Structure 1
Amino acid sequence: MNPSEPVATETLSSKMKDVIDVLAMQREKRNSLQKSVTIDYTNVNDTFTVARFIFECGFKLDAHPLTIATAATLYHRFIREATPQGYDVYLIASTCLYLAGKIKDDVLKIRDVMNVAENTLHRGSQPLELGEQYWAIRDAMVQAELLIMRMLKFQVVSTHPHKYLLHYLRSLQAWFGEDEWSKYPVAKTSLALLQDFHHSPAVLDYPPNFIAIACINLALQIYGVVVPLMDECDQLPWFNVYCKELTREKLWEIMEKIMMAYDQEPETRDSC
């Protein structure tokens, strides 16, 4: 092992400590404000806010978390291929949610998606009647679905970090032991971090297994939890047991990207 590596790791850890503390406070603040904060989507259309729109609509439709994650991924991929200024981003977002339901076999009726999207954009609006506006929006969504499919070259099925995350968490639970594992909400926090990371297009930049490990490691850092028995592994990082090719530097890079996503939250931006 390079003699300088432990020093480099210690430097990274000390550098990130304050940021991790801030992240924990941001998540606590977000949880307390989540029910009271209402975004006026008609006045803002940045990437984070549109992704949040997808999540809000998905929750209202009782969509599966993987369906919502798929929709967010589709949207980020589309925006990378297109010029956002040339499209109605909320129409594209709604269509991504509808398309994701088909991909994940989590059927979301187009009329339900339309009504939820309209009510989320225009708070307090009534369900769409079967009239000119209804058919215009429906036709626009059908055309948008074809556009998204063409822009993504019909490659709309992807591997999500979720399956890796659940596998690693189950393994770590056995590694820690039931009593020790139950002391900290590592699993719940890891899943929440993964969900929140889908608000950022950076979720497209890394392999899904890398992202899963980064979410777990960030949760461990937040609660100051150390994976047991690592002293007996010749300082082999715990994550290399699951993924040999993941380096410490790449892991911290992904963790920083996850934390940067929180800087884009409206309440975070307003408080800066």
Structure 2
Amino acid sequence: MNPTEPTSNETLSSKMKDVIDVLAMQREKRNSLQKSIIVDYTKANDSFTASRFIFECGFKLDAHPLTIATAATLYHRFFKEGDQEGYDCYLIAATCLYLAGKVKDNPLKIRDVMNVAHNTLHRGSQPLELGDQYWSMRDAIVQAELLIMRMLKFQVTPEHPHRYMLHYLRSLQAWFGEEEWSKYPVARTSMALLQDFHHSTAILDYPPNLIAIACINLTLQIYGVVVPLMDECDQQPWFNVFCKELTREKLWEIMEKIMAAYDEEPETRDN
């Protein structure tokens, strides 16, 4: 090897710094605009926007975070099996949210799901009255629920990265110590990255434990945090303690997918 040529790790570190700077700017911009942004869902039907619809409706329904994550996962799995042009993506999204409430033992009343979904699609509209439109939409959700169940072969209980992340974060907290750990919002940012990654179909492409590690490692890179007693000495990386088979290349691949999810967000919005 030419001594003047950068090693793969050096190249990776340089690339990492560039994309992390971009990611930090994207998140800062997104967070600053979040409260003032009102999405007009009638003007888009891509998977990112439909996933955002699930999250918005889920928050309005006060659904548990795992319920919302389940709904987003079911949505992506459904359209991985079926043609997106052949179905009303927002009907499927609302139905996934309703079904996820059952799956995660966080029941959401079908009437509440209908009214929240309708009002989110049609801003400022009144709650649905008990008329033809109400019963038509209710029947559509019931039929869509059966369709989703059949399309997914009744396998509607996904394994989430959340429980792995909780375990890993607790272990890291013990390694850092309470004082050092409290200096950085590692847990909050890792969970935020995981939540955002559910907007992308790539959430289906990797095992949940690897996704959890990637979100945490990306957070550590964003804040420039070094894991004590691991990265500072000539030992295995911290993530190999939890997954011996995980390579740096594979970890980088997943982190790139997480960062790429922010590029999928459409620019067109109504304020």
Normalising by the smaller structure, the TM-score range is over 0.9
Residue 153 of structure 2 is matched in structure 1 by: 153
Q: Is 1:122 paired with 2:139?
A: no
TM-score, normalisation: structure 1? 0.95
Counterpart Cα distance in 2 of 1:34 and 1:235? 41
Q: CA deviation at 1:212?
A: 0.1
Q: CA deviation at 1:7?
A: 2.7
- Dislocated runs of 4+, deviation >4 Å: none
Superposed CA deviations along residues 177-203 of structure 1, whole A, max 9, x for unmatched, are 111111111110000000000000000
Question: Which structure features the higher share of helix residues?
Answer: 1
Residue 3 of structure 1 is matched in structure 2 by: none
Superposed CA deviations along residues 86-133 of structure 1, whole A, max 9, x for unmatched, are 111100000000000000000100000000000000000000001110
Residue 39 of structure 2 is matched in structure 1 by: 39
Counterpart Cα distance in 1 of 2:245 and 2:111? 46
Counterpart Cα distance in 2 of 1:231 and 1:56? 39
Q: Is 1:215 paired with 2:207?
A: no
Percent identity, aligned pairs only, is 83
Residue 74 of structure 1 is matched in structure 2 by: 74
Amino acid at match of 1:198: H
Counterpart Cα distance in 1 of 2:206 and 2:138? 35
Residue 240 of structure 1 is matched in structure 2 by: 240
Superposed CA deviations along residues 159-182 of structure 1, whole A, max 9, x for unmatched, are 100000011001100100111111
Residues 10 and 111 of structure 1: is their aligned pair in 2 closer, same or farther, counting only changes over 3 Å? same
Q: CA deviation at 1:25?
A: 1.1
Trace 1:23-102 onto structure 2 (pairs within 5 A): 23-102=23-102
Q: CA deviation at 1:36?
A: 0.4
- Contact 2:231–2:237, Cα closer than 8 Å, also in 1: no
- Contact 2:71–2:99, Cα closer than 8 Å, also in 1: yes
Uncovered stretches (5+) of structure 2, i.e. residues with no partner: 1-5
TM-score, normalisation: structure 2? 0.95
Uncovered stretches (5+) of structure 1, i.e. residues with no partner: 1-5
Counterpart Cα distance in 2 of 1:13 and 1:152? 40
Amino acid at match of 2:53: F
Q: CA deviation at 1:234?
A: 3.1
- Secondary structure of 1:160's partner? coil
Trace 1:128-207 onto structure 2 (pairs within 5 A): 128-207=128-207
Q: CA deviation at 1:135?
A: 0.2
Counterpart Cα distance in 1 of 2:111 and 2:207? 35
Residue 265 of structure 1 is matched in structure 2 by: 265
Q: CA deviation at 1:231?
A: 5.2
Amino acid at match of 1:238: W
Counterpart Cα distance in 2 of 1:70 and 1:105? 12
Residue 224 of structure 1 is matched in structure 2 by: 224
Residue 7 of structure 2 is matched in structure 1 by: 7
How many pairs does the alignment contain? 264
Q: CA deviation at 1:232?
A: 6.9
- Contact 2:149–2:156, Cα closer than 8 Å, also in 1: yes
Superposed CA deviations along residues 29-83 of structure 1, whole A, max 9, x for unmatched, are 1111111011100010001000000000000000000000000000000000001
